[in-house]
Amino acid sequence: MMPLSLCHAQNENELKTYTKIVSVPHLSVGFYNGSQDMRMKPFAHAHNHYEFIIPLETIPILRYEQANYPGEVGYCYPVNPHVEHGLRLSLTSELMSIAADEDYLNRRKAELGYEDKLFYTRFLINSGLLTELNLFGLTQSETIATEIIDTLIRAGLQDDIDNRRPQADYFQDFKDVILFIFEHFTESSLTIRDISAVSRYGYTYFTKAFVKFMNETPVSYLNKVRISKAKAMMKDNLPFDSIAKQSGYTSASAFTEAFKRIVGMTPTEYKKKFF
């Protein structure tokens, strides 16, 4: 059986890219800082444990089987045992990776009344879970480890609709497009025509091809990247007009409108609830 710590990376050598890995028999948490000197390379693997990925900065493309989706700040991305998953691009973003023993988590699911539920898709996290994870990193407490698993079960098994869809293999076509978006998303003047020019597709077909790859339009993806960046900056207590500008929005009102449309609450409501 694969050790829990190996769930965090493709191999033992890449575990060195983590700042810290803390483990007890039924839980392992890896803290990754996205160092420029040592980055985790693109990979896909499967293992016999549960894994939960928490981006602290936006991850351009996560992979779950053949589905592609951005790793957005404020969400946890669960991986069920034996499912292929990984990274489409080298990892430069800060994140936490949580690996939980399959048998132990399944027992806790049954004890908490979630025996027949499966983890399907991302779910919102709050500062309480991040506090538990950071405390576990300091104490290596088995009690806190169980509290973390219980929190993940209760938060992650409320919704059983999977919004990750297998996509055609357009990765080679869109690798440079995704990298371009991440390089320029803070520019409020960035347009879809600018983005499409990086691809091999004409402007009129570009959106259709992008949807086949990411299961959403380039406008939707761009806004998710911007809002994810904004959520990451909220912990620094910056004013919303500054966050808006640094996220690629022309004004605080445009930022608020986009944030509410994507997140379902205003930036003020989100900050009050999760920070």
First vs last Cα of the chain: how many Å apart? Answer: 38
Structure tokens that stand for 142 in this block: 């088995």
Per-residue pLDDT for 161 more than 80? no
- pLDDT at 59 > cutoff 60: yes
Neighbours of 185 (CB within 10 A): 21
Q: What share of the chain in percent tops pLDDT 70?
A: 95
Residue among 229, 150, 226, 234 at smallest CA distance from 188: 226
Apex 253 CA angle, 252 and 258, nearest 5: 100
**Strand, helix or coil for residue 122:** coil
Of 44-58, 142-156, 208-222, which gets the smallest average pLDDT? 208-222
Lowest mean pLDDT among 141-150, 170-179, 206-215: 170-179
Long-range own/partner contacts, residues 201-204 (CB < 8 A, 24 or more apart): 201/173
C-alpha span between 68 and 64 (Å, rounded): 7
The model carries a pTM of: 0.90
* Mean pLDDT value across the chain: 92
**pLDDT tens column, 146-160:** 999 999 999 999 876
Tell me the domains of the chain and their CATH numbers: 4-156 (2.60.120.10), 171-274 (1.10.10.60)
* CB 24, CB 62: distance < 8 Å: no
Q: Tell me the sheet residues that pair with 68.
A: 63
Q: Point out the least confidently predicted range of 117-121, 161-165, 211-215.
A: 161-165
Contacts 24+ apart (CB under 8 A), 200-205: 200/173, 201/173
pLDDT at 63: 92
